[in-house]
Structure 1
Amino acid sequence: MKSHSHGKRMFLPLAALILVLACAPAAAPAIPAADPNAIQLYIQQTAAAASTQTQDALPPASITPTITFTPRSTFTPYATFTPFQTFVLASPTPLRRSYFFRVKHDSQLAIYDFKSRTAAGSWTLNPQTPEVVPLFAAPKEASGTHRTPITRAWESYMDELNNGNEKKLRYLKATHTALFNGAGFPQMESLTMGGNIITLDAIQGDWGKVHTLPYGSPPSASVVNYFTSPDLVHKFVVVGWSRASKATYWVDPPQGDTYWPFVSRHVVWIQMSRLEPFPGVPMQVTARGQQEVKQEPKADSRPTGFTLEDGASVTIVEYYPTGSDVWARIQSGGWIALLIHKGGVPKYLTSWSMETVPPPPPPPSE
C-alpha cells in the first residue's frame, strides 16, 4: 500500500505538467523585416488612389464658349497657400488652388554666381540686359522653348497695356531686345523676367506647369493689367552689375515702364528652383508702424474705421498683389498693406517679407 500511494503521488505532478504544456501557445513565428521600398510603393499607390477618388468626386467642369475675365476688384478670395503635397508623383499633380510665386533674380541663382549675369568675365555685351527666364515646352531643359504668334488682337492689347506709347512699343517689339529675339515680331518667345509673379496649374517633380492667359482672345486692358493681375501681365525688367559697388541692380528699359501679356499658345513649364513662393497663409504678422485697415486693397480705399497699431499682431489669410505692391486680407476683416513703394523704394509695413524683390515699381501716375 505504501508503494502504491507513492506512485499516485508521482503521477499527479506529471499529469499537471502535461496539461500545462498542452495549453501553452506555440512559439511566435519570426516577423520578417519590413521592406522600405515596398512601404514607399504602398504610400505612393495610396496617394495616387486618393487623388483619383478626389478627382472623381469633383463635379465635371462645364465648357463655356467664351472666356470672361472677372475684375480683381471683386476680390474673389484667392485660395490660401499651404505646403506642397507630401507625395511627388510621376504625373503632373493638379493644383486646385492659386499659389503666388515670384520669379527669382540672377542674384539668387548659382548659375550666375549669385550676381547679375552681366558680371561674368565672359560677358562682352552691355552691363545691362533684360533679365529673361525661359519657359520650356516640357518639364525638361532639353525640350526647348515655344513661340506664340501675336495676332492683331493681341498686338492691340499689348499696345493698350503700354498706353500706345510708340517708343515703348518699338522697343518691346524689336528683334534684339528680348520677347522677339528668335524669329522677330510677331513670333513671341516663351519667357518671363525676374521679379514677376506667376501661378502654377500643376507640379511635376522639380517643374511647375505655368498658368498663362488663354490664347483664344485677349481680355480688356482696363480689366486685366499689371495693377489688377500682375500674374497675367508682366513687366519688363533690366538687370545690371555695378563694378564700382560690386552689386546687382534692376532698372526699367530706357523707354520706361513696359508691359506685355503673359500668354502662350502652348503649355509651358518652369523649374521650381527658379521660384520663391509667397509665405504660407494664414500667418501672423506684426505691424511696423501704424496703418489704417482698408475696405479694399488699395491706398485710396475707404478705411474700415480700425487701425493697426505699431507692434500689434494680426493674422493674414489672403494675398492681393497689385503692380509691384502686395496687400493682404486680415482674419478679422479688411485689408492691410504688406509691401508698398515710396519714391521707388520698397517698404515693408509688417514683419512679412520675401527675398525676391518685385520689378521696379511704376510711377504713381500710371
Structure 2
Amino acid sequence: MSYIASLRLSDFRNYAALDINFGPEPVVLYGPNGSGKTNLLEALSFLSPGRGMRRAKVTDIARRNDGEQAPAWGVNVTLENDTRINIGQVPEYPGRRLVRVDGSNATGTQLAEILSLMWLTPAQDRLFTGPAGDRRKFLDRFVMAHVPSHGLTSSRYEKARSERNRLLSDQINDPRWFDALETDLAHYGSLIAQARAETLAALQSEIAARDSVFPKAGLALDGDYEAAFLAGHSLEEVEGNLRIDLSNGRGIAQRAGRTLIGPHRSDLKVTHVAKSMPAEDCSTGEQKALLIGLMLAQARSRQGRNPILLLDEVAAHLDEGRRAALIEELLALKTQLFMTGTDRHLFEAFEGRAQMFEVCQGEVKRS
C-alpha cells in the first residue's frame, strides 16, 4: 500500500509552515470552518496532474499576511517508500509551477504513475445539474487513475483543437493546415474516447458486482466516439472515422467558428438505478449519495493501485447510520484517506481506527 508518510508546507494558503507525519490509517482533520482543513486537502491534490481540487492559479496560492503575499509557496511530500515529491511556485517566474520527484524535474504523467488520487468536495454536489464540462472533468479524473497518460493526451488534444479553432475563426482555408491538425485531433481524440469507454466499463462492472448502502448508479456516455468503443469498434476504426468527420464538417465548423465534433463535446449521464431516475432529477441528498457511491466504486475498481482519497466535508450531511456505513466501506478499501469535518463526533464510527488531528487557524495538532 502506497501512502503519504509526511507533509511539509511553506507559505501555502493560511499555513506559514507545517511539518506533519502520517501513518497508513485514515486521517481525520476536524475544526471550525475557515481553519485550513480544505487547504490541506488542496495541497495534497497537487500530487495529481492538473491544477488541484480548487483549480487555482499558481499566483493565487501563496500565503497572504497583512496584505503582503509571500514570494512563493511549496508542498513537500515523502511517501512510505521514501520517494520525495516537491511541488511549488518558482519565485523568479511567479506564474510557473515546478514539480520534482527525488530531486529531478517531473511531469504530470509521472506523478500519475506514482500516485493515484481521488477527491470529493462540496463544490461537486452540483455536478449532475451543472454544465457538461464539469462532468467530463469528473470522469477524466477517474480515467487518469486507469490511464496515467490521459492527462497528457487531453492536453495535446486541446492544443490541436485550439489551433484548429483559430484557423476556423480567422477563415483560413488552407487544407494542408487542416489536414495536419485534424490528424492530431483524430489521434488524441480517439485515445481519449477509448480511455473513457474502458473506465466506464470498469465502473459499471464494479457497481453491478457489489451492494452498498449508497444507491447504484447507471452510467452512460453521451458521445459518438466513446459509444463506438463501447460497441466494439477498434482504435483504428474510431480514429479514421473521427478524422473523416472532422474533414467533412469543416464548412459547418467555419460558420460556427469552432470545432463542433469530438470527445470535448461528450457528457457523462448518471441515473439512480433503483428509481430509474436521471441524477439531475434526484433530491440533493440522493445526488450526494450517488456521488459517494461512484467514488467508492472507482476506488474498488483500482484496488491493485490503492487510490488515496481526499474527502472534504463528505460526512456532514449524512445521518448517523449512513456515516457509519460509509466509514466501514472506506476502511474495507485498505487505502489511505483524508477526511475533513467541523466536529470530531462525525467520525466516532472509526472507533480508534483513524489518526485524528485538530485544525485551528493554520495549526494542526494530533489529538
TM-score, normalising length from structure 2?
Answer: 0.23
Higher helix share: 2
Q: Which has the larger radius of gyration?
A: 1
Higher-RCO chain (CA-CA 8 Å, sequence separation at least 6): 2
